Structure 1
Amino acid sequence: MQNILSNIIITVNENLFVKNPENSKLGKKIIEESIILIDEIGFENFTFKKLGERIGSNESSVYRYFENKHKLMIYLSSWYWSWMECRLVFETNNIVDPKEKLIKAITIVTEKVEDDSETLYVNESLLNKIIIAEFTKTLLTKEVDDENKVGFFIIYKRVINRLIEMINAVNPEFAYAKSFASSIVQGALHQHFLKDHFKTITDCDEHNSPTRFYLNLIEKTLL
């Protein structure tokens, strides 16, 4: 499974970068270290100057790849959702039973992410923490409609559309497949955040994971 994923090229909207970071050693270093730095200091405190100092290069070298840190953040998000989509495709491909396939898919998009050693310059575990903490910031902007039109969020929406198809396969009569699927994907991030920071307003903890919560919700709602 991991060997198959390692041969898949993660695709990201080319409008997000000036120069494709996947095509050079420095570009991959920028991606690798930006994930580590954002995890350490948060997106608000993250700057290209700090990133340049971390990779031992000029700030201008980062700008040769990304116009600004907002587009870098959307790039990282798109990479994450593209990787997640690959997992959904390959880990559910041979599952025939619609219920079993949906359960597997829900588990994938809601569970805690472990680092995939096959992608040497991307720590998926750290990237997952960033997505949990920062992803909504890429959406809640004045430019979101224009960015959506040029396809900045198309991979994120593809992940949700795959869940919609699986929900419809399990229960074609369910009237809220789109709302349910998008709520699961976004809600899982929120529950992970609450579990770590606002423990008194979530039932998710070390014993009850967000995955367990959403599988229970699926069972009670659809099955």
Structure 2
Amino acid sequence: MDLLMKSLKIGVNEKLYIKDPESSTLGKNIVEQSILMIDEMGFDNFTFKKLGVKINSNESSIYRYFENKHKLLLYLATWYWGWVEYRMVFATNGISDPVKKLEKAVEILTQNVEEDSSISHVNEVVLNRLVINEYSKSYLVKEVNQENKDGYFVVYKRLVNRLSEMIAAVDGKYPYPISLASNVMEGALHQYFLKENFPTLTNCNDSITPTEFFTNLIFRTLNQNIHG
């Protein structure tokens, strides 16, 4: 799988960039360094001017790729969810048992990224941490409805739908598969954030993972519905 991941091309909505950063060395450097810088200083403190200094390039050259840093954050988030989707589909494709398939999907969607699969310019470990800390800033904006219409969140929504279909395959009578799936997706990020920043607000710690929590939550919910 590592060999496949190294050659993987993640599809990103073309409206998120002016020039495809995958098309040049400079573009890839912009993506690589922006991930590291946002992780280090936070999205609010990150600017294209600071990025230009880091990559020894004019600030104007970055604007040839991205209209603003919001679009850049959306690009990084979309890339991340596309990468997660690929891993989930790859890992579950050969599983016929719906329960085992759902278990594996939840594992992929909620596990912490601890190894970089070395996709050249993207450090997935750091990008995972960036998404945990900053993803909500990509959609908590006034323009979210229009951005949704423009398809900026299609990959994330597709992941939620994939998971909801797996939930329905385990228990077709459960009335809230999409709500449960979206709560798992968003909740996993929140649990990792709480674990690192507000440990008294979660049971997740070094011995209890968000994966364990959400696996328990899903199957207890579905079992209660089945046997209710």
Structure 1 residue aligned with 2:175: 175
Matched, 1:107 2:107: yes
Structure 2 residue aligned with 1:61: 61
Distance 1:35 1:115 in 2: 16
Quote the offset at 1:137 in angstroms: 0.8
Which residue type is aligned with residue 117 of structure 1? Answer: S
State the aligned residue count. 223
Distance 2:91 2:55 in 1: 35
Structure 1 residue aligned with 2:79: 79
Matched, 1:116 2:104: no
Structure 2 residue matching 1:222: 3-state secondary structure:
helix
Q: Which runs of 5+ in 1 are unaligned?
A: none
Aligned Cα RMSD in Å? Answer: 0.9
Structure 1 residue matching 2:71: 3-state secondary structure:
helix
Structure 1 residue matching 2:136: 3-state secondary structure:
helix
CA offset digits 1:77-130 (Å, max 9, x no partner): 000000011001111111110000000000001010134333011011100111
Quote the offset at 1:5 in angstroms: 2.7
Q: Which runs of 5+ in 2 are unaligned?
A: 224-228
Structure 2 residue aligned with 1:153: 153
Which residue type is aligned with residue 64 of structure 1? Answer: R
Q: Is the CA contact (8 Å cut-off) linking 1:17 and 1:66 kept in structure 2? A: yes
Matched, 1:143 2:136: no
CA offset digits 1:33-82 (Å, max 9, x no partner): 00000000000000000000001111111101000000000000000000
Quote the offset at 1:2 in angstroms: 1.8
Which residue type is aligned with residue 68 of structure 2? Answer: N
Q: Is the CA contact (8 Å cut-off) linking 1:17 and 1:65 kept in structure 2? A: yes
Distance 1:94 1:5 in 2: 18
Q: Is the CA contact (8 Å cut-off) linking 2:6 and 2:120 kept in structure 1? A: no
Q: Is the CA contact (8 Å cut-off) linking 1:33 and 1:55 kept in structure 2? A: yes
Q: Is the CA contact (8 Å cut-off) linking 2:30 and 2:62 kept in structure 1? A: yes
Which residue type is aligned with residue 50 of structure 1? Answer: K
Structure 2 residue aligned with 1:200: 200
Quote the offset at 1:3 in angstroms: 1.8
Distance 2:122 2:202 in 1: 30
Matched, 1:214 2:214: yes
CA offset digits 1:171-205 (Å, max 9, x no partner): 00000000000000000000000000001111111
Distance 1:220 1:159 in 2: 22
Structure 1 residue aligned with 2:37: 37
Q: Is the CA contact (8 Å cut-off) linking 2:28 and 2:121 kept in structure 1? A: yes
TM-score, length of structure 1 as denominator length: 0.98
